[in-house]
A and B are shown apart, each in its own frame.
Chain A
């Protein structure tokens, strides 16, 4: 089935998967330790919070909007949940945190959506304000310091594994339970995007706003749904990350919004809306994780890592553009020649 093969190779996700494999093998050549089950599990664990945030931002990007406040939402909700639970003397596990943080995150993000929807502002502008507000709120009203006073139930969370492996270098590690959250979120969002009227609405609005209105979609409602999902998943990611790191951080994820958006865009999501998939988001997040981890295994100094990751991103985008041009067929076609000819 050459036709089927060509269609498969034309998919961004398939190419990206291939690149991830190739990069892993290259790193593995230099450092055998990289190609082990333990490393894969480590990478997956590190990817979990980013995957959740990536899945959350996906519907927003599909609409043609860009949000950066979700990292602030993650920081505030996890810190608020911790403060409340700590004052109550809570000694349980992650469940109590999720119960508080998730609805709170959805509510804060919903506010961003409502403000930009009602006042017809770009989400980006409103989210800039919320980003500053939320971090400012954390530092001023809650706690300017990191809080290491974890409840008992959360202490061993870092090592809750579904499958355990012993590795000569890493030691005992495994597939972290939180992978289940990611799988659940990914399937749920996939079903919504692919099989529900509201999910298709995200794509329609990103493709042509006019059509969305004429078809009968309520644009403010679509935006609010997307933002609420975004906020809820960011809150979940925040709680998980704090549980991993074993402290609650008022400036959690500050700056990480760029990594998340970069990962999602690497996964084939269009920054201008209308294009993107759940698989692409997951692969994009794994791509970024593999590179950052891989650099450690290659012995690149931590101070250099950001620079190298940045270079890799730029190279990746150039390659994608070249590939699109090759698939587009004619060389030397400029923007002026679009339209005519098939």
Chain B
């Protein structure tokens, strides 16, 4: 097949930091290329060079038979390179049709808008990939998966030859990922190339024809996806062998009172008749597809949602959790999946973030709080969890994703919880940090904390959990011991109706 894009010996440095060093890459028409690498490996720099946002210090870019020393964003678009960012760059207040077609109207230099044409163009682009989404729907009302499809349709309308997708599966569930892959395969048949940038090696291996691995700004691997196995890729990515967490052979026996017992918890339409126990020294996995109620169940355990019926017992004592503060008081801590919006105050330093939920416990008379007296708390947790930051007074905004996740953990642990509810704790985190978080979860559970892990990452569930509950339409469909099942079996159980 013909080569669409070829970059040769690209280098880019920012100040003293080398972001990319002598990277060469070729992408053919109708080829899906996986670009993997840990945070800071140079993936985003490469994306920005290909889309014309950054100019490389050295190296050349060939697109079809054109030769570029420097590529302007507008040239990249004209040459058919289209980037779909993680946030999709859509206007939530406008219709699907307008989001798809408006950019072309502006680019073409027209002043007036012909709505019939806008709808026709949008329809043509959208119907190439799906006929599920209505054109007049407001984008803000769509699910993440549908918004992504809208973004792809927009790229198609801009005559994209190469679609660069930055972490496209982060906000999607298994089912949605499967339908995204169907779309990508269809694009491949039409000769459109895709650069699939991701952390998730399983997905990259499944969808891509070729895989390129970056580490510390260098290309360390480039080969056919069929020939690469995941362990080798992991070694290329991290530069070392990441030990998977080994589970204790036997789940802890149920001797004393369970730490937490849920009886017939019901909150329609999210979940109903949920009964389970969580013991000390145990990690309980809860999984399910989109809309299965797993997220709502977690929120009910921490008092954000209130079940309409059912009971919760903690160490044999019946409790009512009406508010998130009740949960903190009872020793239940929650790590949300959306750490940026729900877990952190970005402009505040690590210390302030860590202390926040412990405030009632640490405050003195009349509720006054002496910030200075507890400053060392932040520093202690920074060291304990190995958060990479110059000091505990660093604003959380300046930290990388993995380190931000650690701050959220620290904040929960600082309350000295008995029960920890984790919602997708490794979403968007690179392989090495992921393994570290898994190890950390196991270590916590050895210390006697009961952990509920909500996740749809199947290897993660199998590696860290003692038992797994699968939710379907708000009910517990399966109860498993994780040493009894394999990845394929669990995947099948999750997907079947």
Are A and B bound to each other? Answer: yes
For A125-157 the 0/1 string (1 means CB < 8 A from B) is: 000000000000000000000000000000000
Residues of A307-342 contacting chain B, CB below 8 A: 330, 332, 334, 336-337, 339-342
For A181-210 the 0/1 string (1 means CB < 8 A from B) is: 000000000000011111011011011101
Cα distance A34–B105 when bound, in Å?
A: 49
For B76-108 the 0/1 string (1 means CB < 8 A from A) is: 000000000001011111100010001101110
Q: Are A208 and B296 in contact (CB under 8 A)?
A: no
Which residues on A sit within 8 Å (CB–CB) of B70?
none
Whose C-beta in chain B lies nearest to the C-beta of A214? B89
A208-B90 contact in complex given A339-B338, A342-B143, C-beta closer than 8 Å: yes
**Which single member of A195, A197, A208, A332 contacts B91 (CB below 8 Å)?**
A208
Q: Are B295 and A200 in contact (CB under 8 A)?
A: no
Question: Interface segment, B218-226, B298-306, B344-352, B376-384?
Answer: B298-306
Q: Are A207 and B290 in contact (CB under 8 A)?
A: no
**Which single member of B90, B111, B304 contacts A211 (CB below 8 Å)?**
B90
- State whether the Cβ of A3 lies closer than 8 Å to any Cβ in chain B: no
- State whether the Cβ of B291 lies closer than 8 Å to any Cβ in chain A: yes
The 8 closest A-B pairs by CB, nearest first: A207-B91, A274-B93, A207-B93, A215-B103, A208-B91, A336-B304, A215-B106, A211-B89
- State whether the Cβ of B373 lies closer than 8 Å to any Cβ in chain A: no
Q: Are B291 and A340 in contact (CB under 8 A)?
A: yes
Cα distance A217–B103 when bound, in Å?
A: 10
A197-B92 contact in complex given A215-B106, A334-B305, A337-B305, C-beta closer than 8 Å: no
Cα distance A216–B112 when bound, in Å?
A: 16
Q: Can you pick out 13 interface pairs between chain A and chain B where the beta carbons lie within 8 Å of each other?
A: A195-B115, A196-B112, A201-B106, A203-B94, A207-B92, A208-B89, A208-B90, A216-B106, A216-B107, A274-B91, A332-B306, A341-B290, A342-B142
- State whether the Cβ of A275 lies closer than 8 Å to any Cβ in chain B: yes
Which residues on A sit within 8 Å (CB–CB) of B112?
195-197
Cα distance A197–B102 when bound, in Å?
A: 8
Chain B residues touching A, majority SS = loop
Which residues on B sit within 8 Å (CB–CB) of A342?
142-143, 291
Q: Are B305 and A207 in contact (CB under 8 A)?
A: no
The total of Cβ contacts below 8 Å across the A-B interface reads: 78
- State whether the Cβ of B361 lies closer than 8 Å to any Cβ in chain A: no
Q: Are A337 and B296 in contact (CB under 8 A)?
A: yes
A275-B93 contact in complex given A197-B110, A200-B102, A342-B143, C-beta closer than 8 Å: yes
Whose C-beta in chain A lies nearest to the C-beta of B102? A200
Whose C-beta in chain B lies nearest to the C-beta of A217? B106
Whose C-beta in chain B lies nearest to the C-beta of A275? B93
Cα distance A274–B94 when bound, in Å?
A: 8
Cα distance A274–B112 when bound, in Å?
A: 19
Which residues on A sit within 8 Å (CB–CB) of B94?
203-204, 207, 274
Q: Are B113 and A197 in contact (CB under 8 A)?
A: yes
Which residues on A sit within 8 Å (CB–CB) of B305?
332, 334, 337
- State whether the Cβ of B342 lies closer than 8 Å to any Cβ in chain A: yes
Q: Are B111 and A196 in contact (CB under 8 A)?
A: yes
Cα distance A339–B306 when bound, in Å?
A: 19
Which residues on B sit within 8 Å (CB–CB) of A207?
91-94
Whose C-beta in chain A lies nearest to the C-beta of B118? A200
Q: Are A334 and B106 in contact (CB under 8 A)?
A: no
Which residues on A sit within 8 Å (CB–CB) of B92?
207-208, 274
Chain A proximity of B89: nearest CB distance (Å): 5
Chain B proximity of A232: nearest CB distance (Å): 20
Chain A proximity of B307: nearest CB distance (Å): 10
Residues of B121-164 contacting chain A, CB below 8 A: 142-144
A198-B111 contact in complex given A208-B89, A217-B106, C-beta closer than 8 Å: yes
Whose C-beta in chain A lies nearest to the C-beta of B291? A341
Cα distance A198–B105 when bound, in Å?
A: 11
Whose C-beta in chain B lies nearest to the C-beta of A273? B93
Which residues on B sit within 8 Å (CB–CB) of A340?
290-291, 295
Cα distance A330–B268 when bound, in Å?
A: 10
Q: Are A195 and B299 in contact (CB under 8 A)?
A: no
Which residues on A sit within 8 Å (CB–CB) of B342?
336
Which residues on B sit within 8 Å (CB–CB) of A274?
91-94
Which residues on A sit within 8 Å (CB–CB) of B105?
197
Q: Are B113 and A337 in contact (CB under 8 A)?
A: no
Chain B proximity of A97: nearest CB distance (Å): 32
Q: Identify 4 new A-B residue pairs, CB closer than 8 A, beyond the known A195-B115, A214-B89, A334-B305.
A: A195-B112, A197-B105, A197-B113, A214-B103
Which residues on B sit within 8 Å (CB–CB) of A204?
91, 94, 102
A200-B113 contact in complex given A208-B89, A334-B304, A337-B296, C-beta closer than 8 Å: yes
Which residues on A sit within 8 Å (CB–CB) of B102?
200, 204, 215
Which residues on A sit within 8 Å (CB–CB) of B106?
197, 201, 215-217
For B324-336 the 0/1 string (1 means CB < 8 A from A) is: 0000000000001
Which residues on B sit within 8 Å (CB–CB) of A341?
290-291
Chain B proximity of A101: nearest CB distance (Å): 28
A210-B93 contact in complex given A197-B113, A200-B113, C-beta closer than 8 Å: no
Whose C-beta in chain B lies nearest to the C-beta of A204? B91
Cα distance A3–B329 when bound, in Å?
A: 49
Q: Are A203 and B91 in contact (CB under 8 A)?
A: yes
